[in-house]
Amino acid sequence: MHLLIILNGFIIGLSASIPLGPIGIICIQKTINKGHISGLVAGAGAAFADTFYAILAGFGVTFITNFIEEQQILIRILGGLILLFLGYRIFSTNPAIQMRKKHISKNFLGDFISIFFLTLSNPMTIFFFGAAFAGFGIVKEQSGFSELLQLIGGVLAGSFAWWFTLTTLVNLFRKKFRLKRLWWINKIAGSIVILFGLSVMISLLFYRF
């Protein structure tokens, strides 16, 4: 076992996850509204999606990489639409109605799948991992299968560690949020996610075909 390879993978996975984009906003909102597990499961969806792209970059699966590059317009359109839909759902959620229910719906599988595919809708991630692996000088022609597996494992661990840390910190303050604050959090978080979705759609207007 090469601990340095695992550590490098951990750092890369952490670096890929830390920037607080729409995925982070959604995970925070889910943690506050539905609890720690819901936010963590959503974060795990993002971690596995990042790991999937890391596998493609690490193992050099060129035909899939080429397909993603060729279809990135369609992928980004789908991602933008998903962001708009999720943003609207968050914005329109009324915490008062949720509190009146005996049990808040916790569809963990749905949380995982929705964030997994939303993360996959950003095809630039695979190029990030390709550049990061090259920058660290990790993936080489002579790299063995076990070394690549350790690298990918490190990426998954680093990404998951970030989502665990983020959702745990948010959960510590969850009970301090009153109903009115939850209402505002949903409005603000939903608006931010909608803006991310609109920015994706608008950016396509300036894309050079």
The answer to whether 41 and 112 have CB atoms below 8 angstroms apart is yes
pLDDT band at 63 (very low <50, low <70, confident <90, very high): low
pLDDT in tens, 105-127: 568 898 999 999 999 888 778 87
pLDDT in tens, 77-91: 888 888 898 889 888
pLDDT in tens, 42-57: 999 999 999 999 988 8
| Whole-number Å distance between alpha carbons of 169 and 161 | 12
Task: Say which range, 6-15, 161-170, 187-196, 199-208, has the weakest mean pLDDT.
Answer: 199-208
SS3 assignment for 87-100? HHHHHHCCHHHHHH
Answer with the residue of higher pLDDT: 141 or 177: 177
| Whole-number Å distance between alpha carbons of 186 and 56 | 35
Helices (H), 35-138: 36-59, 62-70, 72-92, 95-100, 108-120, 124-136
